[in-house]
Structure 1
Amino acid sequence: MDLLEQSLLDAPIIEKGDYEYFVHPISDGVPMLKPELLREIVIRIIRKAELENVDKIVTPAAMGIHISTALSLMTDIPLVVIRKRKYGLEGEVPLFQETGYSESEMFINDVEPGDRVLVIDDVLSTGGTMKAILDALTNDIGADVVDVVAVIKKAGETELEDTDYTVRTLINVTVEDGEVVIVDAHGDG
């Protein structure tokens, strides 16, 4: 069993209303993220993702930043962070994100028409954030989304089901009776 699998099986579960939520260093920043787990995840992304001719790694703040930073350092591909705060810089593109538990506006800077991008995120759950990001990158900016990778997918349908977007994942899980259950240890794609 690899470190990612074991870390998910060991993840504490908290209840948010009727929702059972696992707490994990990749998705929440707690418990502590060990370098060997981050290294394993980045190596798995490098093996799984289409990286050839990618101009930029794009990730939403905040929990995609540590994964994407490590990936950028290992691949020498520049990193763009989609922020939850408006800076008003030239070319800034707003997008509205809605997830199963929140909604907010995010802002993309430094992605130009024709840029070939790799989108990285920590968790794919409802797909609301990812769909908003991919729509903004492709439709509003005109970037070429080369590949999309989420480290963890929570099992179930997402808002991406009836779209042309494909998200590769490293591991697919669900939470049942207060425990994380590995649905697919190798993820999608």
Structure 2
Amino acid sequence: MDTGDMDQLERSLLEAPIIQKGDYQYFVHPISDGVPMLKPQLLREIVIKIIRKAELEDVDKIVTPAAMGIHISTAVSLMTDIPLVVIRKRQYGLDGEVALTQETGYSEEEMYINDVSEGDRVLVLDDVLSTGGTLRAIIEALEYIGADVVDTVAVIKKAGPTELDETGHDVKTLITVEVEDGEVVIVEE
């Protein structure tokens, strides 16, 4: 495949190393894993695409789960002047802290939201939409708080159904991929 006409995100995914985790073939990518090294050009391209795609009007806060949403969300925050809230896996016990249970296809753990209040208009950003478990838990917790989830964006979507499909909550993504025969394949959805 000629990668000359591709953007950085497509090229970086097609070149991503594949590792075997049990029966599962897993791509390793700078956005989802922090390795290989994240080049500024790739991060800049992704941030510009997010800013063009996301509903940003009157958004009060960007909300992202630790850890792999932080670099993307920090860059979007710097470009838009929208403050950033990181959902942490550590409990701090601050006033208004809300716990949520994050369930992914791989694990289950508690996470904690601080600094989001009733009436806040938020943009939820994440690196990868796979099973949808993390984003679903975050959106439900934000709705419990009384925040208005204006938009949700994940950089990479792994092809297939997610827990969000039946909720009516749309997650915008920049690219959809699957791993076939040890290679990343870009899927048109």
**Of the candidates 54, 57, 69, which is equivalent to residue 49 of structure 1?**
54
**Of the candidates 134, 140, 157, which is equivalent to residue 161 of structure 2?**
157
Distance in structure 1 (CA, Å) of the matches to 2:41 and 2:147: 33
Distance in structure 1 (CA, Å) of the matches to 2:21 and 2:92: 32
TM-score between both structures, scaled by the size of structure 1: 0.96
Tell me the residue number matched to 1:103: 108
SS in 2 for 1:41: helix
Note the C-alpha offset of 1:148.
Answer: 0.2
Tell me the residue number matched to 2:135: 130
Distance in structure 2 (CA, Å) of the matches to 1:128 and 1:177: 26
2:10 matched to 1:5? yes
Note the C-alpha offset of 1:55.
Answer: 0.1
| Alignment deviations for residues 43-68 of structure 1 (CA, whole Å, 9 cap, x no partner) | 00000000000000000000000000
Tell me the residue number matched to 1:178: 182
Note the C-alpha offset of 1:89.
Answer: 0.4
**Of the candidates 146, 168, 171, which is equivalent to residue 167 of structure 1?**
171
Which residue identity lines up with residue 157 of structure 1 in the other structure? P
Distance in structure 1 (CA, Å) of the matches to 2:24 and 2:107: 14
Note the C-alpha offset of 1:135.
Answer: 0.4
Tell me the residue number matched to 1:89: 94
SS in 2 for 1:113: coil
Note the C-alpha offset of 1:156.
Answer: 0.3
TM-score between both structures, scaled by the size of structure 2: 0.96
Question: Considering only aligned residues, what root-mean-square deviation do their CA atoms show, in Å?
Answer: 0.7
| Alignment deviations for residues 155-188 of structure 1 (CA, whole Å, 9 cap, x no partner) | 000001110211000000000010000003xx7x
Distance in structure 2 (CA, Å) of the matches to 1:87 and 1:175: 38
Unaligned runs of 5+ in 2: 1-5
Distance in structure 1 (CA, Å) of the matches to 2:28 and 2:8: 16
**Alignment length (residue pairs):** 184
SS in 1 for 2:161: coil
TM superposition outliers: structure 1 runs of 4+ over 6 Å:
none
**Of the candidates 17, 32, 37, which is equivalent to residue 32 of structure 1?**
37
Distance in structure 1 (CA, Å) of the matches to 2:90 and 2:181: 37
Distance in structure 2 (CA, Å) of the matches to 1:164 and 1:142: 18
SS in 1 for 2:187: strand
SS in 2 for 1:171: strand
2:83 matched to 1:78? yes
Note the C-alpha offset of 1:108.
Answer: 0.2
SS in 1 for 2:101: strand
Distance in structure 2 (CA, Å) of the matches to 1:39 and 1:118: 19
| Alignment deviations for residues 22-51 of structure 1 (CA, whole Å, 9 cap, x no partner) | 000000000000000000000000000000
